[in-house]
Structure 1
Amino acid sequence: MRIALAQFNPVVGDIAGNTRRILELAREAMAAGADVLVTPELALTGYSPEDLLLRGHFFRAVSAAMDELLELDGITLVIGHPVRLGAETFNAATVLRDGNRLGQYHKMLLPNDQVFDECRYFTPGAAPLVFEQDGVKLGVLICEDIWSVEPAAEAADAGAEVLVALNASPFHRDKVATRQETARYRVQETGLPLLYVNLVGGQDELVFDGASFALDAEGEVAVQAPAYDEALIFVDVECGRVMPGDQASLPAPTESVYRALVTGVRDYIGKNGFAGALLGLSGGVDSALTLAVAVDALGADKVHAVMMPSRYTADISLIDSRDMVKRLDVRYDEIDIWPTYESFMAALSPAFAGLAADTTEENLQARIRGTLLMALSNKSGKLVLTTGNKSEMTTGYCTLYGDMAGGFAVLKDVAKTLVFELCRWRNTVGEVIPERIITRPPSAELRPDQKDQDSLPPYEVLDAIMQRYVEENRSGEEIIAEGFAEADVRRVVRLLKINEYKRRQAPVGPRITHRAFGKDWRYPITNRFS
């Protein structure tokens, strides 16, 4: 028996388009001799449809699509989709063959943490599903089901000889190894091989990395699909044993993060129908990395970089920006913001009379730049990519309606220290980022001789505190006990707390850690907990 795993990139809500793609993959699988095609979790609708699942006509479209798939003969289909039965909705997998519905499985374990809120929409299932194909009994599981003992054990008790898991498992760092380790536990407990098929592609802040695989009964990887690319992979099963097959190489950790960012940008721009991407280039490392990612995601012809200097912009920032856009061959414009700034200040001078200059004047420069970028976006149909990183989002070192103005925050979940690491990795592939951009001290260039470290702890310290407090949920006292300076810890935690209102207004951006500022992070703005 040959089983095809359909690692593909659906579009949420495009039920007709996703159905066509599944049928294409099924016919390709049949041509390669496959007996079974297994799709990822909620493949028919994309993951996650969120509140589309509250609309009745959404399920009518799903039902019509399932009827269309039922007409395909010659291969068994295991289709991930939502289903409404009476007053209850289930995250389901239905087995179809030659016009017959052989059974339907309802996901037993519903995740309700991190980015998942399936308890809002679904009722948990209560029974295993095992179906037979060419004398082999296949037990169906869906995603979270493999993260606990019981669903796999129940499938084994029901007679399964091979476990098949449909997944919509989003990427974060180290996720591939964690998935395989978890699947290996289920293999060890049941003694059964396990086939794991995952979505690929970007959906708002989520990135699905694919990397589907098959484990044999000893827990060894017998087949490995590539990461970040669509793939139809084949698993041959003989006498209940998974046979060795194709082994794609997986990217190293830094490359994997970079490719996740590229995937997120490509699909957010593409699936939402924007003409391309537009960003402000500053001569700094964050905008340089954002530009490189955008070009790798969309192609140079769809990216427009704009340099908007002021009297505080260093000559080397202009030189390095011009150098980088030549290397990447993107459209590039320079717009001097100082005349506009002086006009604003003249209009505000009566209201500002007698008041000392402060961050107001700095933020005004950033907001002029944001206004110019949004005007260019309106004219061109290109989406503005913001360039702020996670360290800045943590501390509020960013300007509402200024550098935060835009539609997609590429580095929103990328710490500053990782920004440097990603730049260096990208230059090993092709040196597109001038070395001086990476090595010079970071600066917002909003006042004379400004450096980021004038206002923030060193990024190595800031990012270490941020990781512990934001991503690991550790208290300030626990972090201080590790040896971090109390003043630094209290400063970072205070800045994190008082800037929640900014983060709530930030655009979405690709999630690359297990705790990003987005669906993962739901803190009250009005909050006096210390």
Structure 2
Amino acid sequence: MKIGVLQLNPIVGDIDGNCAAIRQGMAEARAMGADLCLTPELAVTGYPPRDLLLYDRFVRRAREAADALARNLETDAPGGPPLLLGGVEPNPCNLGKPVFNCAFWCEGGAVRRVFRKTLLPTYDVFDEARYFEPAPAQRPDDGEPGANIMTHRGRTIAVTICEDAWNDKDYWETRAYPRDPLEEAAAHGPDLIVNLSASPLFLGKQRLREDMLGAVARKYRVPLVYANQTGGNDDLIFDGRSCAFGPDGRLAGRAPGFAPAVAVFDLDAPRPDAIAPDDFGREAETWCALVMGTRDYVRKSGFSSALLGLSGGIDSAVTAAVAVEALGAENVIGVLMPSPYSSRGSVDDSLALAANLGIDTLTLPIAPIMDAFAKTLATPFAGLPEDTTEENIQSRIRGNLLMALSNKRGAMLLTTGNKSELAVGYCTIYGDMSGGFAVISDVDKSGVFALARWHNAHIRPAIPEATITKPPSAELRPDQKDQDSLPPYDVLDAILALHIERHRSARQIVEAGFDPATVDRVLRLVRSAEFKRRQAAPGIKLTPRSFGTGWRMPLACRRDI
């Protein structure tokens, strides 16, 4: 049997556009000889639809679209292969949540069966129990068994949706849910397991997926085919990499990463060339995710161009390089806003970067505006020493100029702050935090340097060497260096990773070998910057815990962690 996987990049809420993409993908899969086709989870609506699911009309339209798509597929190719289509349907019962997350079996011009998702994740970025009712343990359905089982071409197929395949107690040595849909399906002796998924990326996740899914196939001694979404939707990146496994658990096929694709996996005669080559290196994955996430966020939001401030520093350089790869050099503008404290080297590095990337620049000196602020505030500030107030004014002047250009030109303003800065509040709210999208907000400072070196070695040597080697500085006062205010970045980033991504307390971090005073200082900065993060632009999730949808710290609280 040949299974066609439609690895799609949907736009959330674009029901008609998503169905058109599915229809086109089916035509390609049929031409490649597919006997059965799969879409990712919620392919009709795009994932995650979030609170769109609270609107009855949206849910009804999505369900009607599944019926219409089934009819259209039969018109396109009478007697063509069935499609397992990810979508939603209203819950006809007055009990529970009003919507089911489903896979529709489309064949012969109609939806013949409906399979419902059982396990609804509520951790990290997931909040599916807010919207969906889980599949009941037992339900009669046209004489079929209660488990999600279907017979096609003499083979018994177990249909699972994303999380349904992630609860194997033997693999995890524990169980997150009381039910295991795969165990329930295994009682019916399936010949094949399929999984419709919308699995967001964190760095290194594909290796985990392939190891876990391979273990499931090996455990039940049946082939497994996994269809994953691709593309960026808000802060989430879906890396695709749909794959197939033989009954021995070995990888039998993989679709390309970070791109739409139609892949057909032959379960009876797997081919070595069915496994698309991939680079699982940290910088390579980071680069692909940032480029795709930026491209999709800008374009799916209705913009075609972007602008950003160029400071001569490493963060704006990497952000500019990502923007050029994502949108094209002709659609990116770099804005230089030198102050009296800006070094000649920083200006030269910015201009060299722009020339290397092929982007246009604007130069808007801010000294006259700084003078105007100083005159206006002279009386209320009389007798008070200069401090970070004056530094923040510079940043807010730049933020205003950038937002004005964004408004006037209709271009998305990209912010350039990294995760280290966002974690400890080394950024100015309504200043350098102003913008529509925070490209590298889940890359720590150490990672930004590593990505810059990787970019120069693997993409093109566009980032000036001086930008990579000089000590980081905000250049808001004479001879300022980041390390005047923060611990060395290698120390800071190690502490932040333990606290944010691994949930380690201050005591545990000290026990790991870090200086107690430094740990206390860093964690106090993290706490005090919470209000800034709540107002930050959305960014791209790369780590298991980013400052996005999955970060839900209270603002007015006293933390003892």
> What is the TM-score when the length of structure 2 is the normalising length?
0.93
> Does the CA contact (< 8 Å) of 1:130 and 1:159 recur in 2?
no
Equivalent pairs counted in the alignment come to 528
Q: CA deviation at 1:271?
A: 0.5
Q: CA deviation at 1:367?
A: 0.2
Q: CA deviation at 1:244?
A: 5.2
Determine the structure 1 residue equivalent to 2:83: 77
Determine the structure 2 residue equivalent to 1:511: 541
Determine the structure 2 residue equivalent to 1:529: 559
Task: Give the aligned residue type for 2:429.
Answer: L
> Does the CA contact (< 8 Å) of 2:304 and 2:331 recur in 1?
yes
Determine the structure 2 residue equivalent to 1:2: 2
> Does the CA contact (< 8 Å) of 2:7 and 2:230 recur in 1?
yes
Task: Give the aligned residue type for 1:54.
Answer: L
The whole-number CA distance in structure 2 between the counterparts of 1:160 and 1:102 is 19
Determine the structure 2 residue equivalent to 1:130: 149
The whole-number CA distance in structure 2 between the counterparts of 1:170 and 1:529 is 29
Q: CA deviation at 1:158?
A: 2.0
Q: CA deviation at 1:245?
A: 5.1
User: What are the Cα deviations for residues 134-169 of structure 1, in whole angstroms up to 9, with x where unaligned?
Assistant: 222211111111111321122221231110001100
SS at match of 1:340: helix
Q: CA deviation at 1:413?
A: 0.6
Task: Give the aligned residue type for 1:34.
Answer: A
Determine the structure 2 residue equivalent to 1:264: 293
> Does the CA contact (< 8 Å) of 2:305 and 2:332 recur in 1?
yes
> Does the CA contact (< 8 Å) of 1:215 and 1:242 recur in 2?
no
> Does the CA contact (< 8 Å) of 1:416 and 1:463 recur in 2?
yes
Equivalent residue in structure 1 for 2:164, among 129, 145, 154: 145
* Counterpart mapping for 1:304-323 below 5 A: 304-323=333-352
> Does the CA contact (< 8 Å) of 1:78 and 1:93 recur in 2?
yes
Determine the structure 2 residue equivalent to 1:423: 452
Determine the structure 2 residue equivalent to 1:229: 259
Moved more, 500-509 or 179-188: 179-188
> Does the CA contact (< 8 Å) of 1:216 and 1:243 recur in 2?
no
The whole-number CA distance in structure 1 between the counterparts of 2:430 and 2:28 is 49
The whole-number CA distance in structure 2 between the counterparts of 1:3 and 1:193 is 11
Determine the structure 1 residue equivalent to 2:234: 204
Q: CA deviation at 1:102?
A: 2.9
Determine the structure 2 residue equivalent to 1:295: 324
Task: Give the aligned residue type for 1:19.
Answer: C
User: What are the Cα deviations for residues 243-301 of structure 1, in whole angstroms up to 9, with x where unaligned?
Assistant: 65511111222111111011110000001111311100000000000000000000001
Task: Give the aligned residue type for 1:56.
Answer: D
> Does the CA contact (< 8 Å) of 1:193 and 1:242 recur in 2?
no
The whole-number CA distance in structure 2 between the counterparts of 1:446 and 1:103 is 64
Determine the structure 2 residue equivalent to 1:37: 37
Percent of counterpart pairs with the same letter? 48
Please say if 1:95 is aligned against 2:124.
Answer: no
SS at match of 2:378: helix
Determine the structure 2 residue equivalent to 1:159: 189
Q: CA deviation at 1:101?
A: 2.7
SS at match of 1:102: strand
Please say if 1:66 is aligned against 2:66.
Answer: yes
Determine the structure 1 residue equivalent to 2:19: 19
Task: Give the aligned residue type for 1:45.
Answer: T
Please say if 1:120 is aligned against 2:150.
Answer: no
The whole-number CA distance in structure 2 between the counterparts of 1:20 and 1:56 is 22
User: What are the Cα deviations for residues 193-230 of structure 1, in whole angstroms up to 9, with x where unaligned?
Assistant: 11011000000000000011101111111101111011
SS at match of 1:457: coil
Q: Which runs of 5+ in 2 are unaligned?
A: 75-79, 138-145, 169-179
SS at match of 1:290: helix
The whole-number CA distance in structure 1 between the counterparts of 2:245 and 2:30 is 23
> Does the CA contact (< 8 Å) of 1:90 and 1:124 recur in 2?
yes
Task: Give the aligned residue type for 1:79.
Answer: L
Task: Give the aligned residue type for 1:197.
Answer: A
SS at match of 2:264: strand
The whole-number CA distance in structure 1 between the counterparts of 2:356 and 2:512 is 44
Determine the structure 1 residue equivalent to 2:117: 107
> Does the CA contact (< 8 Å) of 1:91 and 1:107 recur in 2?
yes
> Does the CA contact (< 8 Å) of 1:226 and 1:249 recur in 2?
yes
Q: CA RMSD in A?
A: 1.1
Please say if 1:398 is aligned against 2:417.
Answer: no
* Counterpart mapping for 1:175-194 below 5 A: 175-194=205-224
SS at match of 1:493: helix
Equivalent residue in structure 2 for 1:491, among 521, 531, 554: 521
* Counterpart mapping for 1:449-460 below 5 A: 449-460=479-490
Q: CA deviation at 1:483?
A: 0.9
* Counterpart mapping for 1:373-384 below 5 A: 373-384=402-413
Moved more, 249-258 or 207-216: 249-258
The whole-number CA distance in structure 1 between the counterparts of 2:184 and 2:516 is 51
Determine the structure 2 residue equivalent to 1:411: 440
Moved more, 63-72 or 501-510: 63-72
Please say if 1:273 is aligned against 2:283.
Answer: no
Please say if 1:443 is aligned against 2:473.
Answer: yes
Equivalent residue in structure 1 for 2:275, among 247, 260, 267: 247
The whole-number CA distance in structure 2 between the counterparts of 1:410 and 1:333 is 21
> Does the CA contact (< 8 Å) of 1:235 and 1:242 recur in 2?
yes
* Counterpart mapping for 1:312-351 below 5 A: 312-351=341-380
Q: Which runs of 5+ in 1 are unaligned?
A: none
User: What are the Cα deviations for residues 355-407 of structure 1, in whole angstroms up to 9, with x where unaligned?
Assistant: 00000000000000000000000011001100000000110000000000000
Determine the structure 2 residue equivalent to 1:220: 250
> What is the TM-score when the length of structure 1 is the normalising length?
0.98
SS at match of 1:350: coil
